[in-house]
Amino acid sequence: MVKDDGLAAGKGVVVTEDIEQARAHALACERVVIEEYLDGPEVSLFAITDGTTVLPLKPAQDFKRALDGDEGPNTGGMGAYSPLPWADPKLVDEVLETVLQPTVDELRRRGTPFSGLLYAGLAITSRGVRVIEFNARFGDPETQVVLARLKTPLAGVLLNSANGTLADQAPLSWSDDAAVTVVVASHNYPGTPRTGDPIEGLDEVAEKDAPHAYVLHAGTKRGEDGAVLSAGGRVLSVTATGSDLAQARERAYAAVGRIRLDGSQHRTDIARKAAEA
C-alpha cells in the first residue's frame, strides 16, 4: 500500500500486488508512506474498559461504501450485522489478549489511562489480525446491532467503567439472536444531502414489525406540524433481530420497505453474503 504523504484529493493511494506499480507510484511521490497490504475482511470490536479491566463486546461488520457490492464512495456506514458466522470463534479472545488489553495497559503505564469505549477497527488478514484504527467511541452503525444483542443493561456496565469497578461486573449476557441494521440515507448522500423531506411509514413499522424490527433516528427532526422530516445524510437505521442473519435481514428489509422518503437510498446487500454462507 503506497501512499503520497500529503493531500492528493483521494488519488494518492495505490493498493496493489504488483511491485512495479508500487515502485512507480512511490517514485512519483515527493514523500511516501508504505504500509502493509491488508488482504482480509474488516471487523469492528468494541470493548468497555475502566483503564485496567477490559470487557469486549461482540464483533460486528459494517458496510462503508454507498452502493451494493461495495461500490461507490465511502460513507459513515450504510449497514451492519452481528454475529459474524465466518469469524474464528477465538477471535474475541485473541484480540483481547493481543490488542485491547496491551493497549489499555500501555496507556496506563504511560500515565494516560483510558476509560470508556475502545473501538478497534481490525482487518482479519491471511497473516493474522491487524489493527487499522482505534476510536474512543461507539461505532455507527455497528452499535445498533451489537446493543441489539446485549441483554445486560448497558448503564450498569458504563457506571462500572466510570467508577473503576469493571472487575466486579458480572459476565455480560448475550442473546443468541442475530441482528442486522440497514441505513436509509438522503438523496445525494454522501455528497451534500437533500434534507427537509417528510418521512412516512414509521408508524407502520411500529405497528407491524415491532418488537423484532424498529427504527432508530439519526438525521431527523420534527416539522412545525409535527411531521418527521429528514435532517441529515444518514437519516434512519432500520434494525431487526432474528434467529439467524437470514431472518434478521428479512425483517430489516421488510421494515425498510414500509418507509417512504423521497429520493432516499439504501443498500440491498447488507449481511447478504454472511447470511447465505
Tell me which residues touch ligand GLY (CB under 6 A).
62, 77, 135, 139-140, 142
Choice between 62 and 197, CB closer to ligand GLY: 62
Choice between 132 and 227, CB closer to ligand GLY: 132
Tell me if 113 sits within 8 A of 93, measured CB to CB: no
- Cβ burial of 244 (10 Å; 0-12, 13-18, 19+) is middle
Choice between 140 and 250, CB closer to ligand GLY: 140
Give the position of cell 482487518: 123
- Report CA 191 to chain centroid distance, whole Å: 20
Task: End-to-end CA distance of the chain: give it in Å, rounded.
Answer: 30
Choice between 142 and 197, CB closer to ligand GLY: 142
Beta carbon of residue 44, minimum distance to ligand GLY (angstroms, whole number): 6
Tell me if 243 sits within 8 A of 177, measured CB to CB: yes
- Report CA 38 to chain centroid distance, whole Å: 18
Tell me if 115 sits within 8 A of 164, measured CB to CB: yes
Beta carbon of residue 143, minimum distance to ligand GLY (angstroms, whole number): 8
Beta carbon of residue 135, minimum distance to ligand GLY (angstroms, whole number): 6
Beta carbon of residue 120, minimum distance to ligand GLY (angstroms, whole number): 11
Tell me if 19 sits within 8 A of 97, measured CB to CB: no
The Cα–Cα gap between 140 and 147 comes to 11
Identify the DSSP state of 100: I
Beta carbon of residue 218, minimum distance to ligand GLY (angstroms, whole number): 12
The three cell numbers locating residue 112 = 494516560
Give the position of cell 456506514: 77
Choice between 22 and 183, CB closer to ligand GLY: 183
Beta carbon of residue 59, minimum distance to ligand GLY (angstroms, whole number): 13
Choice between 23 and 134, CB closer to ligand GLY: 134
Query: Among all residues, whose Cβ is closest to ligand GLY?
Result: 139
